[in-house]
A = this chain, B = another copy of it.
Amino acid sequence: MAKASDTNRHVDIGSKAGVEPGEGRFPLGDFVLRSGATLRGVTLAFKTHGSLNADKSNAVIYPTSYGAHHSDIEWPIGPGKALDPERYFIVVPDMLGNGLSSSPSNMPPPQDRAHFPRVTVLDNVIAQHRLVAEGLGISRIALVVGWSMGAQQTFQWAASHPEMVERIAPFCGTARTTAHNFVFLEGIKAALTADAAWKDGMYEDQPARGIRAFARVYAGWGFSQPFYRQELYRQLGFSSLEDFLVGFWERRFLRRDANNLLSMLWTWQHNDLGATPGCDGSLEQALGSIRAKALVMAGETDLYFTPEDIRYEASCIPGAEFRVIPSVWGHQAGNGLNPVDSRFIDQALKGLLAA
């Protein structure tokens, strides 16, 4: 059975360590989660692009999405793009559980595999804040931007650090996971864990059959009905529907570790900006506390982060602009897969950064 690429217990992701620009790992030591559990010997993986300017005013934080490594989401970064390394110092922190930062797959016992504690979006942002403030010496952030689970972390950054975050651009994600989105995630979780080879998370070999099932269920949600109707997977180089299900979806998740996928899934299911300290459990209060200039975007045909849900949340943020990405690519409109949607998002980010 194939090993997932992120199952190595000891990750070495680059030659540059600590807080130097480039790929790096930031040691957080023993990190107390909001739940009260302590994750011991935590490291946060990250990658930076560009350089911090003299007055430290050009930092952009761009957290990772579900199942992604920092290298998977670089499409909006580059010369001439909104996230231009010539102008901005872009920090891409890897989510806890993604296989590069501390994760079920790389933690030593006793917190390895199924014993990895549950981590929230808020925990992630607390860890990222330490990287940014202590590690990189940044006290002002020009922009926090993220897609999907990256959007969840973006909302959290703005609510947790209103004095620090100047702009946010969360897209195709919500500040609180909706009930329907929760059910979609229940489905992919049940599909993965239906495989007895999962062994309640204590497998040695990946439960590949369960991961394939997980991927096949995900496929229906990730793109929209018209995407499939128009066979747009052919634009991505796939020769047939089955080729797409195997070559895009199964391949995407077979690279990953099952416990890592389940860890991030729990984080997603339990995402709730209302749990921000001082917000009394109120989503509306948390969104209302945001002071950053906000551009909130939704994919027109996104099946789980729906435009309706995102529009409502945007309406709770003072002065926020809500914009719909006109696309039939569903949730994947925000994943840099097609030039039209990518240009739309790039233009939007450029406008926000110029403001």
Contact = CB atoms under 8 A, between A and B. Distances in A.
Interface of A: 178-180, 182-184, 186-197, 209-210, 212-213, 216-221, 224-229, 231, 241, 245, 303-304, 306, 308-309
Given A186-B220, A187-B220, A190-B213, 7 more contacts: A180-B224, A180-B227, A182-B241, A183-B228, A187-B213, A213-B213, A303-B303
Contact of A190 (B182, B196, B216): B216
B178 A228 contact: yes
A217 B183 CA distance: 8
B178 A191 contact: no
Contacts of A216: 183, 186-187, 189-190
A262 to B, nearest CB: 14
Given A194-B194, A195-B196, A217-B191, A186 B245 contact: yes
Contacts of A229: 178-180, 309
A225 B312 CA distance: 14
Per assembly, the copies of the chain total 2
28 contacts: A178-B225, A178-B228, A178-B229, A179-B231, A179-B241, A180-B220, A180-B224, A180-B227, A180-B229, A182-B228, A183-B219, A183-B245, A186-B216, A186-B245, A187-B191, A188-B217, A189-B216, A190-B217, A191-B191, A191-B213, A191-B217, A192-B194, A194-B195, A194-B213, A220-B221, A225-B308, A225-B309, A303-B303
Given A225-B180, A228-B179, A303-B303, A209 B194 contact: yes
A3 B190 CA distance: 21
A187 B190 contact: no
Contacts of A193: 213
A241 B209 CA distance: 28
Given A186-B216, A190-B216, A306 B195 contact: no
A229 B306 CA distance: 11
